Amino acid sequence: MRSLPLPLALTARLSPVAVLACAGWALTSGPLTATQDTAAKDTQKTRSEKASEPATTAVSKTYGTAPAPCTSLAAKTITTLVPGVKPAGKEIPSTDTGLRRTCSWNALKGYDYRWLDVSFEITDSDEEAQRSYKERIKEKSGGGAVPGLGNTAYSVVNLTTEDKQQTREGVVIAQVANALVVVNYNGSDFESKKAPSTDEINKGAIRAAKEAAAALQNGPKA
């Protein structure tokens, strides 16, 4: 708040003192005392009534905790996207499992390698989830919207090359009420040094994201 100019600020602070000084002689008079007693009782009553009223500032949340990520996908989906892996997956340690949980699957079958991560993140409100969603997709240009997934969803696929070895990674981010569903899916062929096609990685990531979002929506609510 902007500070008041000094004269006006002093006036505002000293006015109540001046009023009390002028009116001090009346504090002991019968009618004024009775009026003050009545006003005090009314004030106490009003405060008591307000204290008993239910709070109206609480924000309603659809999801209170992150669901178990390692059981969010069907076993068939997992073994299709990550050939040779065990469907159980491995949950990544989190500082707060109530708000963020991630499960990871990876396997090398022959020379073909795949890695899949599924994450759930819970925020305090739909608005906060939407802000986080928008910030994240700004960092990942070149993708596009995914229709029919949560409130809004975005997917992007990128190719990287290191020591002549290609890796293609797909990322899907979806906002579902006050939650975010994030999928990372990538692959490499260590024999050919090539990466899987953009279409394969993108479709795989979207498939996993849709199943994860369904698991969230079918799970317990806040």
- Domain contains 60: no
Q: Could you give the number of structural domains in the chain? A: 2
What does pTM read for this prediction?
0.74
Judged by DSSP in three states, 175 sits in strand
Between CA 70 and CA 53 the distance in angstroms is: 43
Q: 117 and 40 in one domain?
A: no
61 within some domain: no
pLDDT attached to residue 41: 53
Beta bridge partners of 157: 170
pLDDT one-digit tens code per residue, 113-131: 999 999 999 999 999 999 9
Task: Assess whether 214 and 104 both reside in one domain.
Answer: yes
Which pLDDT belongs to residue 3?
Answer: 41
Mean pLDDT confidence for 196-205: 98
**Look-up of token digits 């178990």:** 68
Q: Give dist(CA 51, CA 36) in Å, integer.
A: 22
Mean pLDDT of 20-24: 38
pLDDT at 37 (0 to 100):
54
Q: Are residues 28 and 109 in the same domain?
A: no
Residue 207 CB partners (closer than 8 Å, separation 6+):
77, 81
Q: Clarify whether residues 136 and 179 are in a common domain.
A: yes
125 and 98 housed in the same domain: yes
pLDDT at 101 over 80: yes
Would residue 64 count as lying in a domain? no
pLDDT tens track for 163-179: 999 999 999 999 999 99
Same domain, 79 and 43: no
> Would you say residue 25 has pLDDT above 60?
no
Q: CATH code at 125? A: 3.40.1000
85-106: average pLDDT: 96
> What is the pLDDT, as a whole number, of residue 140?
87
Domain shared by 113 and 10, yes or no: no
Domain-embedded: residue 42? yes
Return d(Cα 71, Cα 211) in angstroms, integer.
10
Rounded percentage of the chain residues whose pLDDT exceeds 90? 71
Q: Is residue 195 part of a domain?
A: yes
Q: What pLDDT does 18 receive? A: 40
Whether 100 is in a domain gets the answer yes
pLDDT band at 59 (very low <50, low <70, confident <90, very high): low
Residue 181 within a domain: yes
Instruction: Indicate if 47 and 84 belong to the same structural domain.
Output: no
* pLDDT at residue 135 is higher than 70: yes
Q: Give the helix/strand (H/E) hosting 130.
A: helix 126-138
Asked if residue 172 and residue 122 are part of one domain, the reply reads: yes
Within this chain, do residues 19 and 91 fall inside the same structural domain, yes or no?
Answer: no
Token digits of residue 103: 């499960």
CA 28 to chain centre: 60
Mean pLDDT (the chain) is: 83
Q: Clarify whether residues 32 and 119 are in a common domain.
A: no
Range of the domain at 38: 6-52
The reply to whether 212 falls in a domain is yes
C-alpha separations of 23 from 17, 28, 37 in Å: 10, 10, 16
| Higher pLDDT pick, 70 / 18 | 70
Please, which pLDDT band fits residue 56 given cuts at 50, 70 and 90? very low
Average pLDDT over residues 103-111: 98
Shared domain for 157 and 189, answered yes or no, is yes
